[in-house]
């Protein structure tokens, strides 16, 4: 899961999920009590069931959801509020901002034009009537709405500075509004309430938020969050690039031949990890860091294929027996440790490429298992094969969600199989 929308009841979570799913992202709805948040979706809507609990409990539940999402790699959060602003509006904004850090800004624009909801001078107006005079809002048996001023609602539960931006600010254009939001945040405001009377106004707000170099949280019944997520999904996030990382952990003679052929055919210089350094807790991170920087340098210089391997420089077979005897461990345990270090390097390269490296070839079952583990993936989606006993797959959940891969054992195929797999991946990445 890359994005999380937090709602204060299940109906609201479903409703905002419908709005988001219309734009294409896969969307799931769960409750805050779900033991493990699924990662096999683009957007996760979480019901905290917090509309009618105490403000302190509402803050706690929202904060816990954000913390769980961050631990699973979520990149963006939205706060879905009731379209009549019933519930713990300020307390839940506080709960979502705190884990995101002091630079995070909540942008509150709870307009829903198609339902007659507008924000005018900071007040929520429902079909021409201030929300505190609306019969449903005013007479709610558990959380009646007593004021229509959105800033006043917020500060009742959240001791913070709130900036109000009017329709003139919105209609001045995307870049000017973004400057206003940045100025407000830089001066200490954690919350900006913005007037909006149409979908065009909301779209301007969403586009302005996307220009800010700080975490932004849309707070609304759904339309603003949907627009913001769509902008970030299609424009704000790095697209999946066309480069391929070849990560080879297998030590079979055939695997060495396959790597040598790819290096020759593509005119490449491999990036090598010293297997012994991967076994030393004092040197492993430095060794990985050097390899990561070199792989990223090659990618920046235009290489479409980058090869990372633990094969010795002279091309000789890697004999694990002397190292195993020296360290007093089995060769199997030694191979597992080397694969784990290679997987860590692979994860860092893919993550730090910011999407430029869109595919990965992994050779060796231990390497694939370690990469699955360190990236916190939840499942592997099978897409097909390239040649028999290879697998074209896509990772589901975790830090590499959506990564297209080809995997195979080190003894599979002939001398050209690795090249065939790499060319297949390159073609697939250019197709999607």
- What secondary structure does DSSP assign to 233-295, as a single string? IIIISPPP-SEEEEEE---SHHHHHHHHHHHHHHT---EE--HHHHT-TTTHHHHHHHHHHHH
State whether residue 88 is helix, strand or coil.
Answer: coil
Please tell me the distance from the alpha carbon of residue 111 to that of residue 114, in angstroms, as a whole number: 9
Decide if 44 is inside a domain: yes
Residues 187 and 327 occupy one common structural domain: no
Q: Is residue 69 part of a domain?
A: yes
Here the CATH number for the domain that contains residue 367 is: 3.40.980.20
Among the listed ranges 152-166, 304-318, 372-386, 391-405, which one has the minimum average pLDDT value?
304-318
103 to 69, 70, 99, 183: CA distances (angstroms): 18, 16, 11, 12
C-alpha–C-alpha distance, residues 156 and 145, integer Å = 12
- Predicted pLDDT of residue 23: 72
Query: Is 143 part of any domain?
Result: yes
Tokens of residue 336, six digits = 């597992």
Nearest to 243 by CA among 302, 304, 307, 308: 304
Domain boundary among 203, 232, 261: 232
pLDDT band at 45 (very low <50, low <70, confident <90, very high): very high
Tens-digit pLDDT profile for residues 49-72: 999 999 999 999 999 999 999 988
In degrees, rounded to 5, the angle at the alpha carbon of residue 412 between the alpha carbons of residues 304 and 265 is 30
Domain assignment present for residue 237? The answer is no
Q: How confident is the model at residue 38 (pLDDT cuts 50, 70, 90)?
A: confident
pLDDT beyond 50 at 345: yes
Q: What is the mean pLDDT of residues 76-100?
A: 96
Q: Could you tell me the CATH number of the domain that includes residue 182?
A: 3.40.50.10840
Chain-wide mean pLDDT for the chain? 90
The pLDDT confidence band at residue 336, using thresholds 50, 70 and 90, is confident
Domain finish residue from 180, 210, 232:
232
Q: What is the pLDDT of residue 199?
A: 95
Domain extent for 167:
3-232
Sequence-ordered alpha helix ranges (H) in 172-245: 174-186, 199-211, 223-231
Does 238 map to a domain? no
Q: Are residues 310 and 416 in the same domain?
A: yes
Does some domain include residue 86? yes
Binning pLDDT at 50, 70 and 90, where does residue 318 land? Answer: low
The 3-state DSSP class for residue 432 equals: coil
171-175, 198-202, 380-384: the lowest-pLDDT one? 380-384
DSSP bridge pairs for 404: 359, 394
Q: How far apart are CA 84 and CA 62, in angstroms?
A: 20
Angle at 429 between CA 423 and CA 432, to 5 degrees: 140
Say yes or no: 162 and 284 in one domain: no
Task: Lowest mean pLDDT of 118-132, 204-218, 230-244, 371-385, name the range.
Answer: 230-244
Take residue 183 and report the two structure tokens written for it: 């100025």
Mean pLDDT over 160-185 rounds to: 96
The proportion of the chain whose per-residue pLDDT surpasses 70, expressed as a percent, equals 94
Position 372 pLDDT exceeds 60? yes
Assign 236 a pLDDT band (cuts: 50, 70, 90): very low
One domain, residues 352 and 301: yes
The total of structural domains in the chain comes to 2
Residue after which a domain boundary falls, among 209, 232, 255:
232
Q: What's the pLDDT at 240?
A: 65
Within this chain, do residues 151 and 121 fall inside the same structural domain, yes or no? yes
Is residue 387 one of the residues assigned to a domain? yes
Per-residue pLDDT at 326 exceeds 90: no
Same domain, 166 and 72: yes
What is the band of 8 on the pLDDT scale with cuts at 50, 70, 90?
very high
Asked if pLDDT for residue 258 goes beyond 50, the answer is: yes
Domain identity same for 393 and 265? yes
- Whether residues 219 and 253 share a domain: the answer is no
Q: Same domain, yes or no, for 81 and 176?
A: yes
pLDDT exceeds cutoff 60 at 228: yes
């Amino acid at each position: 899961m890359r994005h999380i929308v937090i709602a204060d009841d299940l109906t609201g979570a479903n409703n905002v999920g419908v709005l988001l799913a219309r734009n294409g992202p896969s969307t799931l709805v769960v409750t805050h009590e779900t033991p493990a948040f699924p990662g096999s979706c683009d957007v996760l809507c979480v019901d905290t069931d917090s509309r009618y609990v105490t403000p302190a409990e509402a803050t706690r539940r929202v904060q816990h959801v954000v913390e769980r999402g961050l631990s699973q790699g979520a990149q963006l959060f939205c706060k879905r509020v009731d379209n009549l602003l019933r519930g713990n509006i300020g307390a839940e904004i506080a709960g979502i901002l705190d884990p995101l850090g002091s630079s995070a800004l909540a942008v509150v624009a709870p307009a829903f034009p198609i339902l007659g909801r507008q924000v005018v001078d900071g007040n929520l107006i429902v079909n021409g009537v201030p929300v505190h005079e609306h019969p449903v809002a005013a007479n709610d048996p558990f959380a009646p709405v007593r004021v229509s001023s959105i800033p006043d609602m917020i500060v009742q539960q959240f001791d913070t500075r709130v900036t109000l931006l009017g329709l003139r600010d919105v209609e001045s254009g995307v870049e000017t509004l973004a400057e206003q939001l940045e100025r407000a945040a830089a001066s200490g405001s954690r919350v900006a309430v913005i007037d909006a009377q149409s979908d065009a106004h909301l779209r301007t707000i969403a586009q302005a938020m996307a220009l800010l170099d700080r975490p932004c949280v849309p707070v609304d019944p759904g339309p603003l969050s949907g627009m913001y997520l769509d902008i970030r999904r299609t424009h704000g996030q790095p697209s999946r690039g066309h480069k391929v990382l070849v990560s080879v952990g297998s030590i079979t003679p055939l695997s060495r031949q396959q790597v040598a052929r790819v290096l020759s055919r593509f005119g490449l210089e491999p990036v090598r990890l010293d297997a012994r350094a991967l076994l030393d807790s004092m040197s492993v991170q430095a060794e990985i860091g050097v390899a990561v920087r070199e792989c990223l340098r090659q990618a920046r210089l235009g290489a479409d294929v980058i090869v990372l391997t633990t094969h010795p420089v002279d091309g000789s077979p890697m004999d694990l027996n002397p190292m195993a005897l020296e360290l007093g461990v089995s060769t199997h345990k030694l191979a597992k440790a080397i694969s784990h270090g290679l997987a860590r390097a692979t994860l860092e390269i893919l993550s730090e490429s910011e999407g430029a490296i869109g595919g990965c070839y992994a050779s060796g079952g231990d390497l694939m298992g370690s990469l699955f583990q360190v990236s916190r993936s939840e499942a592997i989606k099978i897409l097909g094969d390239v040649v028999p006993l290879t697998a074209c797959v896509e990772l589901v959940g975790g830090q590499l969600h959506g990564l297209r891969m080809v995997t195979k054992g080190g003894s599979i195929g002939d001398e050209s199989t690795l090249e065939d797999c790499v060319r297949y991946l390159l073609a697939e990445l250019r197709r999607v």
